[in-house]
A = this chain, B = another copy of it.
Amino acid sequence: MSTTRDAALRYAADHRSHYRGKLTELLAIPSISTAAEHDADVQRAAEWLSAELSRLGADNVEILETEGKPIVWGELAASAAQAPTVLIYGHYDVQPVDPVELWHSDPFVATERDGSLFARGASDMKGQLMATLAALEAVGNGGQYPVNVRFLLEGEEEIGSPSLESSIKRYADRFRADVCLNPDTGMIAPDSPTITYGLRGLAYFEVRLRGPAHDLHSGIFGGAVENPAHVLCDLLAGLHDEEGRVTLPGFYDRVRPLAQDERDELARLPLSDTDFLQQTGVPALYGEAGYTTAERIGVRPTLEINGMISGFTGQGAKTVLPATATAKISTRLVPDQDPAEVRDMLLEYVRTYAPETVTYEVEVMALAPALITERDNPGTRAMARALETVWGKAPLFKREGGSVPVSTYLQRALGIPSVLTGFGLPDDNLHAPDEKLDLATWYRGIDALIHFLHNAADGGLR
């Protein structure tokens, strides 16, 4: 028999500093998946996690080879024969840390300030992953678990999980489960436990333009050749109209219309424009005409410049006419947009509007579809009850702007529904300097995951 619910909760309460120490160990590994120079760190994070799974009593722990970054796999056996199986999803890779000079402490030395732990990955999502392992340690104290558990811990989520779908198909038998627990989404506020039932997809591109063979003197040649930075600005400026809509022909054709009941529900979310102004620090909000802020980030597709560079960007005034201009741009997609169609629209746009004065390349860096899960399934009910038990109120259901490709892949390839939740907060500075994790909320999250595992065992998931 596994430990009782109460015993598990007591164990968790008594081991907070142990949990935090484990999280600090994982946060110290700079497992940045976007940069090849961190490949060894990504591998090291995978090995650290496989050791943790073994410590929890997992059988057959493996670091699965993939076409991309490795997947950490293992399984924990339930004490009861008929217990359901939960697939735990997590990603152990993190975003880059630049501009590193804006951090107030080393991004890879977890540092507590004002009740929060600051480090890259603290919230997205090493903290969420370690909350799950902490809950398992509590419920499985003694090596017996209320449910069967399998793991799918990937190392390339932050680059759009390019090889994940093929890995899920390749290792399908290892991942079969009744439900996937995916704690990679966040809460609306510390007192508002949240289940996410919709996620935006992602298509990510790098557009590289070249004009002259090398940088030119802007006085001697300026006026006689077209500046690739101008061409890039023209191309990027043309991607939105004056109402904030994306101009790619057909971009909105497959967007599922927003039903009035869903609109009403989104309007009830405690997300005020004042909160958004405060969280972002912008002088004024902005977005597609005809939609609220919650709708703009949850149910409408977007296109953003993630980065761009051209010419001389150092200190001072260099009179150069740049040879190249490069932008990273990404679209967030909603049901039922097809990432491959959007890719084709962008390629066609560049082909049509890039003038003969430049040559260009477009690299497709990620393509992942959006997801809407059924809100009424056993896994979601088990999670909703768990969150209500800990917070004393029913969770909110929201659609979120981010992208979690794995949920789509698991549904499509193996028919496994996902429960999407998490214990990060809107001001956690995800992907930005001073990423943090609110520790009080994190400890409540561990309790909620303990309840979820017991609820799943008690109520079944099939």
Taking Cβ atoms with an 8 Å cutoff, the residues of A that contact B are 33-36, 95-96, 98-99, 102, 124, 158-160, 186, 200, 202, 204, 206, 211-227, 229-230, 232-234, 236-238, 240, 276, 279-288, 293, 296-297, 300, 302, 304-322, 325-328, 330, 332, 355-359, 365-366, 400-403, 426, 429-434
Distance A99 CA – B320 CA, assembled complex (angstroms)? 12
Complex contacts, A200 vs chain B, CB 8 Å: 219
Q: Are B284 and A431 in contact (CB under 8 A)?
A: no
Complex contacts, A230 vs chain B, CB 8 Å: 236-237, 240, 304-305
Q: Are B311 and A225 in contact (CB under 8 A)?
A: no
Distance A429 CA – B214 CA, assembled complex (angstroms)? 8
Q: A284-B357, A319-B431 are in contact. List 7 more A-B contacts (CB 8 A).
A: A34-B316, A212-B280, A212-B282, A237-B238, A283-B356, A319-B330, A319-B403
The 6 closest A-B pairs by CB, nearest first: A213-B281, A34-B316, A219-B402, A307-B311, A226-B286, A229-B305
Distance A373 CA – B218 CA, assembled complex (angstroms)? 22
Distance A98 CA – B238 CA, assembled complex (angstroms)? 31
- In the complex, how many angstroms separate the beta carbon of A220 from the nearest chain B beta carbon? 5
Complex contacts, A224 vs chain B, CB 8 Å: 276, 280, 285-287, 293, 296-297
Distance A111 CA – B236 CA, assembled complex (angstroms)? 41
- In the complex, how many angstroms separate the beta carbon of A401 from the nearest chain B beta carbon? 4
Complex contacts, A328 vs chain B, CB 8 Å: 311-313, 317-318
Complex contacts, A305 vs chain B, CB 8 Å: 227, 229-230, 233, 310-311, 322
Max chain B C-beta neighbours (<10 A), residue from A230, A330, A401: A230
Complex contacts, A124 vs chain B, CB 8 Å: 217
Given contacts A282-B212, A357-B286, A430-B220, contact A314 B96 (CB under 8 A): yes
Q: Are A281 and B214 in contact (CB under 8 A)?
A: yes
Distance A124 CA – B216 CA, assembled complex (angstroms)? 13
- In the complex, how many angstroms separate the beta carbon of A87 from the nearest chain B beta carbon? 23
Complex contacts, A288 vs chain B, CB 8 Å: 223
Q: Are A282 and B240 in contact (CB under 8 A)?
A: no
Q: Are B330 and A285 in contact (CB under 8 A)?
A: no
Q: Are A306 and B319 in contact (CB under 8 A)?
A: yes
Copies in the complex: 2
Q: Are B306 and A308 in contact (CB under 8 A)?
A: no
Distance A296 CA – B234 CA, assembled complex (angstroms)? 21
Q: What residue of chain B has the Cβ atom nearest to residue A102's Cβ?
A: B214
- In the complex, how many angstroms separate the beta carbon of A270 from the nearest chain B beta carbon? 15
| Interchain Cβ contacts under 8 Å between A and B, 24 examples | A35-B314, A35-B315, A95-B319, A96-B316, A98-B314, A99-B215, A219-B400, A220-B297, A224-B296, A224-B297, A225-B287, A226-B282, A226-B284, A226-B286, A226-B287, A227-B305, A230-B240, A233-B308, A284-B355, A284-B357, A307-B311, A308-B310, A309-B310, A320-B431
Max chain B C-beta neighbours (<10 A), residue from A202, A216, A300: A216
Complex contacts, A206 vs chain B, CB 8 Å: 317
Q: What residue of chain B has the Cβ atom nearest to residue A186's Cβ?
A: B220
Q: Are A316 and B35 in contact (CB under 8 A)?
A: yes
Q: Are B313 and A308 in contact (CB under 8 A)?
A: yes
Distance A95 CA – B305 CA, assembled complex (angstroms)? 30
Complex contacts, A186 vs chain B, CB 8 Å: 220
Complex contacts, A366 vs chain B, CB 8 Å: 317
Q: Are B222 and A304 in contact (CB under 8 A)?
A: yes
Distance A234 CA – B102 CA, assembled complex (angstroms)? 27
- In the complex, how many angstroms separate the beta carbon of A193 from the nearest chain B beta carbon? 18
Question: Of B233, B285, B313, B426, which contacts A233 at CB under 8 A?
Answer: B233
Complex contacts, A211 vs chain B, CB 8 Å: 282-283
Q: Are B217 and A314 in contact (CB under 8 A)?
A: no
Q: Are A322 and B296 in contact (CB under 8 A)?
A: no
Q: Are A217 and B312 in contact (CB under 8 A)?
A: no
- In the complex, how many angstroms separate the beta carbon of A215 from the nearest chain B beta carbon? 4
Q: What residue of chain B has the Cβ atom nearest to residue A238's Cβ?
A: B237
Complex contacts, A402 vs chain B, CB 8 Å: 217, 219-220
Q: Are B284 and A217 in contact (CB under 8 A)?
A: no
Question: Of B99, B212, B319, B434, which contacts A281 at CB under 8 A?
Answer: B212
Q: What residue of chain B has the Cβ atom nearest to residue A305's Cβ?
A: B229
Complex contacts, A357 vs chain B, CB 8 Å: 282-286
- In the complex, how many angstroms separate the beta carbon of A310 from the nearest chain B beta carbon? 5
- In the complex, how many angstroms separate the beta carbon of A428 from the nearest chain B beta carbon? 9
Q: Are B401 and A34 in contact (CB under 8 A)?
A: no
